[in-house]
Amino acid sequence: MAAIAVEKLRWTEKALHVPSFSEMTSALSTGLNENFTEVSINEVECPDLTAAPFNLPACGLSGSPTIIDAGGPPYLLPLVDRTKIYDLADIARKALPNVESVYVCGAGAGPHPLINSNCEGIFNLKVNSDGTIVNGTRIARVTPGEELCETIKVPHLETRFALLANFYLCEGQSGKVLHVKCKKRVGTEDFITVCRKAVKAAFGDKHVGVGGVFLLKNGNAHQHVMRDFSKVPLLNDDDLNNWLKFYDIPGTLVAVGTFLSDDMDLDLRVQHFHSLSVDNKWGGHYHYDTTPNTIEYEAYFNVGERIIRMDQPVDTHNFGRD
């Protein structure tokens, strides 16, 4: 099934508030210190993210940092709209048209026509101006019958995604980023929720968007993988959680995605990260760690300058946002 042509997609762009790294450090420090026993936050030169354990297609997170929120849960729930197929390479080129290369990473629904089944996407794609791409995207699915988690590297030219996704885009250049490390969780909320609420508390009504990559080490994560599309309508969060397949998966995990201080009246998903284990055995949607005493997080984040809202659902609802 072909993707919807990018010029036919509803497309809204808004500027985001861009705090300095020292303001971000102060904001995150307040929230993280209330929830973890050891915290350090520094402005650093981004390490080469093409190296292990990250193995991303681009070396850094700098150059025209942009957040994209595409589609939304109303295209999945109560019943799937199978026509909602998008091409991430075309979208990346439209979002950053005059640059040498675009790196895009994030969390969303994988290209179901590829395997004739619903799946999660852990998206990692570099699109160069000469038309070549570096494709590091993998999908995660629930195997039929045994219901195991399986990840699959997509074919090199497969750049589609479906239904809903949250992406961080940039030129993939090295440059300054925020390096966030924390250990031993004593709060009740997950790492990304803590970061998001800390940013909201510090910047109030100013809209801030953050994207990048984090490692979850020395512990396990509660994650979900979507089963194949439900044949019966999923009408609320209980229906949804019975349909999702949850796993307790061992780190080290590499997670990519975005978080935003609020939904800006654009029906945004305010946080969304998908992870892949370093051995590629596990993938899926990060909820929280299940090993607070040993857990360690290490993140490289950059702050978005603008948000693009793409194909926002007209008829919406308010479940399926966890």
What is the contact surface with Zn ion in residues (CB under 5 A)? Answer: 107, 285
Token pair recorded at residue 54:
């990250």
- Closer to Zn ion at the Cβ: 27 or 107? 107
User: Which of 16, 12, 301 has the alpha carbon at shortest distance from 168?
Assistant: 301
Tell me the residue nearest to Zn ion as measured from the CB.
285
Token pair recorded at residue 148:
């195991």
Q: What is the DSSP string of 148-163?
A: -EEEEEPPTT--EEEE
Least separation in angstroms between residue 108's CB and Zn ion is: 7
- Closer to Zn ion at the Cβ: 98 or 318? 318
Least separation in angstroms between residue 259's CB and Zn ion is: 13
Token pair recorded at residue 322:
């966890």
Least separation in angstroms between residue 285's CB and Zn ion is: 3
- Closer to Zn ion at the Cβ: 23 or 189? 189
Question: d(Cα 30, Cα 39) in Å, to the nearest integer?
Answer: 10
Least separation in angstroms between residue 74's CB and Zn ion is: 15
- Give the containing element (helix H, strand E) for 203: helix 191-203
- For β-strands 209-217 and 296-303, DSSP reports them as antiparallel
Distance of CA 202 to the CA centre of its chain: 23
- Give the containing element (helix H, strand E) for 182: strand 176-185
Question: d(Cα 106, Cα 212) in Å, to the nearest integer?
Answer: 8
β-pair partners for 160: 87
- Closer to Zn ion at the Cβ: 179 or 285? 285
Least separation in angstroms between residue 128's CB and Zn ion is: 27
Least separation in angstroms between residue 109's CB and Zn ion is: 8
- Closer to Zn ion at the Cβ: 25 or 312? 312
Which residues 6+ apart lie within 8 Å of 255 measured at CB? Answer: 213, 214, 215, 216, 273, 274, 275, 276, 286
Question: d(Cα 195, Cα 308) in Å, to the nearest integer?
Answer: 21
Least separation in angstroms between residue 255's CB and Zn ion is: 11
- Closer to Zn ion at the Cβ: 19 or 257? 257
- Closer to Zn ion at the Cβ: 57 or 73? 73
User: Which of 106, 292, 285 has the alpha carbon at shortest distance from 209?
Assistant: 106
- Closer to Zn ion at the Cβ: 183 or 196? 196
Question: d(Cα 122, Cα 273) in Å, to the nearest integer?
Answer: 9
Least separation in angstroms between residue 256's CB and Zn ion is: 11
